[in-house]
């Protein structure tokens, strides 16, 4: 397809050729034979017509192509971003032809584009200032980074804490920078928020002479299309919370220890009454003493759990880690709970191989874990139900499972079931599962729960596989 210029040139060439052909035809048809003077005049007329045709074609090309080129040049300049430029051809309405109309419309379009750009730039500037003001007004340190840990923006609280500013592009050399970068990498790689919840994952920082502890929370950033942009990291000062928690732990430990002696005397007195040492009891009196004895036993168990949790939180509880056989521990736990299971006609089964690898764990802690999980399983499983004890090896750890066919746990309680004093609808303190979680984590494992109402509950926890020590290997004699 020919463009506009090629079409105009072709038309002019055809016009000149047609004029020359017409002049030659007129000369041949009208000139008498042998008239030399007439021939000269005819040739002169022919050349004049040809020259006139060429001149008209040239002027046509110049007069038509020149405004087209000017308008095209102005359009290219406007489209390149110079929205202040105007097309002179149609300026002030001096032209009322087609080119003038095109030029006027282009000028009007440039004005509108400039207004839109200025409005959009102003809006973006206002949004940037607003977001920056919000970021700076947040009391907690905030760090905005890309996926590689380069700082894009930080607020004043982060500048004061880290001793850096927004122009510093890396965190590696700042106070606690490596741990912050680790949280950012985890959030970017796992594509989900990462938070440091346990004490080992908290970030210790020093401001002046005082030590602070911060909880890291790194959240990935995405654009409207879901593409990963970087991460936003928040440092929450939990120093006061830790101080309060330590005070509560110490208070609970002291209070529980002080209450044990009076409780022990109370149990002795109830035991003496139940055995008839103070005289024979009537049926109603026996019933009241039996109920009081059970409540005293529950209170003693509660205080024992409180003391153990406090010792774990304060670091006073020292674990005696040893090499234990998973199947033997499952069998021991089953034997201890077999009478309680048979009382409710609950089937208690083990599903595990006997030659599973050794685990490295504290025997007393592992016994407490199984007892807490099995007591809950038997308590909430109806008669003729089933409870399974399972174990399987997975890479460098053994996964234990306690699964029951009970009534299950409501979904809104699953997120807090391992919290301290997370009471259930039956009024239990919730310390058993809190203690279970701390014991598992103190031995290098993790615990989780799955449950649906009416479909039972499954607790899973892991413990690391014991490595073979060189001194434990038996010497081999050669020969």
What mean pLDDT, rounded, does the chain reach?
75
Mark whether 145 and 97 lie in a shared domain: no
Which of the listed residues 281, 314, 347 is the one where a domain comes to its end? 314
- Both 344 and 466 in one domain: the answer is yes
Asked whether residue 271 is domain-assigned, the answer is: yes
In a domain, 123, yes or no: no
Chain segment 130-180, per-residue pLDDT in tens: 777 777 777 788 888 877 767 778 788 777 777 665 444 455 556 666 667
Count the alpha carbons within 13 Å of 253 in the hemisphere toward its beta carbon: 16
On whether both 142 and 98 belong to a single domain, the answer is: no
Using CA atoms, how far apart are residues 230 and 223, in angstroms rounded to an integer? Answer: 10
pLDDT tens, residue by residue, 198-241:
555 567 666 666 677 777 788 888 877 777 788 888 887 777 76
Do 256 and 371 fall into the same domain? Answer: no
Virtual torsion, Cα 189, 193, 198, 199, nearest 10 deg: 80
More confident residue, 295 or 193: 295
Q: Please determine, for residue 296, whether its predicted confidence score (pLDDT) is greater than 50.
A: yes
Q: What percent of the chain has pLDDT over 70?
A: 67
Same domain for 366 and 465? Answer: yes
Q: What confidence score (pLDDT) does residue 470 get? A: 40
- Are 199 and 272 contained in the same domain? no
- Segment 304-337, tens digit of pLDDT: 777 777 666 666 667 788 899 999 999 999 999 9
Question: Does one domain contain both 79 and 104?
Answer: yes
| pLDDT confidence tier of residue 102, bands split at 50, 70 and 90 | confident
Q: Is residue 249 part of a domain?
A: yes
3 state DSSP class of 457:
strand
60 and 102 in a single domain? The answer is yes
16 occurs within a structural domain: yes
CA distances from 243 to 139, 237, 422 (A): 20, 12, 21
Instruction: Write down which residue in 295, 314, 333 finishes a domain.
Output: 314
User: What digits encode the pLDDT tens for the residues 28-79?
Assistant: 665 555 555 556 666 676 667 667 777 777 777 676 777 777 777 877 777 7
Number of H helices, E strands in the chain: 11, 13
- Tell me: do 465 and 325 sit in the same domain: yes
Average pLDDT over residues 409-420: 79
Do residues 360 and 405 both lie within one domain?
Answer: yes
Total count of domains within the chain? 4
Does residue 167 lie within any of the structural domains? yes
Question: Which residues partner with 235 through β-bridges?
Answer: 216
Helix (H, G, I), strand (E, B) or coil at 150: coil
Q: Does a structural domain hold residue 126?
A: no
Same domain, 262 and 387: no
Flag whether pLDDT at 195 surpasses 80. no
* Strand extents, DSSP E, 223-304: 228-237
CATH number at residue 184: 3.30.450.20
Residue 273 has pLDDT above 80, yes or no: yes
Q: For residue 309, what is the enclosing H or E element?
A: helix 283-314
Domain for residue 96, yes or no? yes
Let me know if residue 120 belongs to a domain: no
- The answer to whether residues 19 and 60 belong to one domain is yes
**Domain encompassing residue 101:** 4-112
Angle at CA of residue 198, ends 192 and 202, nearest 5°: 85
Chain-centre distance of CA 136, in angstroms? 23
Task: Name residue, tokens 């077999």.
Answer: 338
Could you tell me which residues come within 8 angstroms of residue 123 by beta carbon, excluding any fewer than 6 positions away?
none
205 φ, ψ to 5°? -135, 155
Domain boundary residue among 215, 237, 259? 237
User: At 391, which CATH number?
Assistant: 3.30.565.10
Whether 399 has a pLDDT exceeding 90, the answer reads yes
Q: Look up the pTM and report it.
A: 0.49
Question: Residue 121: CB partners within 8 Å, gap ≥ 6?
Answer: none
User: What is the structure's pLDDT at 324?
Assistant: 92
Looking at the chain, the whole-number percentage of residues with pLDDT higher than 90 is: 13
């Amino acid at each position: 397809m020919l463009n506009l210029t090629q079409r105009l040139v072709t038309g002019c060439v055809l016009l000149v050729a047609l004029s020359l052909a017409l002049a030659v035809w007129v000369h041949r048809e009208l000139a008498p034979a042998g008239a030399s003077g007439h021939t000269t005049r005819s040739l002169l007329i022919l050349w004049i017509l040809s020259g006139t045709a060429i001149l008209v074609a040239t002027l046509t090309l110049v007069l038509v192509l020149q405004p087209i080129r000017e308008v095209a040049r102005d359009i290219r300049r406007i489209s390149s971003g110079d929205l202040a430029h105007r097309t002179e051809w149609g300026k002030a309405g001096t032209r009322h032809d087609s080119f003038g109309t095109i030029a006027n419309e282009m000028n009007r379009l440039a004005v509108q584009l400039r207004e839109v750009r200025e409005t959009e730039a102003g809006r973006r500037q206002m949004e940037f200032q607003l977001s920056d003001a919000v970021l700076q007004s947040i009391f907690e340190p905030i760090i905005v980074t890309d996926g590689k840990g380069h700082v894009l923006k930080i607020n004043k609280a982060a500048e004061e804490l880290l001793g850096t500013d927004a122009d510093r592009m890396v965190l590696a050399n700042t106070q606690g920078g490596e741990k912050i970068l680790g949280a950012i990498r985890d959030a970017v790689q796992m594509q989900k928020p990462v938070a440091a919840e346990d004490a080992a994952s908290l970030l210790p920082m020093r401001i002046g002479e005082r030590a602070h502890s911060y909880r890291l929370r790194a959240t990935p950033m995405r654009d409207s299309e879901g593409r990963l942009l970087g991460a936003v990291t928040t440092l929450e000062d939990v120093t006061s919370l830790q101080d309060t928690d330590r005070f509560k732990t110490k208070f609970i430990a002291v209070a529980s220890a002080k209450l044990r002696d009076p409780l022990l005397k109370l149990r002795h007195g109830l035991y003496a009454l139940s055995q008839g040492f103070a005289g024979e009891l009537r049926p109603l009196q026996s019933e009241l003493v039996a109920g009081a004895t059970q409540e005293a036993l529950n209170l003693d168990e509660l205080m024992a759990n409180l003391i153990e949790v406090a010792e774990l939180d304060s670091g006073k509880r020292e674990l005696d880690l040893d090499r234990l056989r998973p199947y033997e521990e499952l069998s021991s736990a089953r034997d201890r709970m077999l009478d309680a299971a048979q009382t409710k006609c609950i089937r208690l089964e083990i599903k595990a191989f006997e030659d599973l690898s050794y685990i490295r764990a504290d025997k007393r802690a592992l016994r407490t874990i199984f007892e807490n999980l099995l007591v809950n399983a038997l308590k909430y499983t109806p008669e003729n139900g089933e409870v399974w004890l399972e174990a399987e090896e997975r890479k460098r750890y053994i996964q234990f499972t306690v699964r029951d066919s009970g009534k299950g746990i409501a979904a809104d309680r699953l997120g807090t079931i391992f919290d301290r004093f997370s009471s259930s609808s039956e009024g239990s303190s919730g310390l058993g599962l809190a203690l279970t979680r701390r014991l598992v984590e103190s031995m290098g494992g993790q615990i989780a729960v799955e449950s649906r109402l009416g479909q039972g509950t499954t607790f899973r926890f892991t413990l690391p596989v014991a490595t073979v020590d060189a001194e434990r290997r038996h010497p081999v004699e050669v020969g």
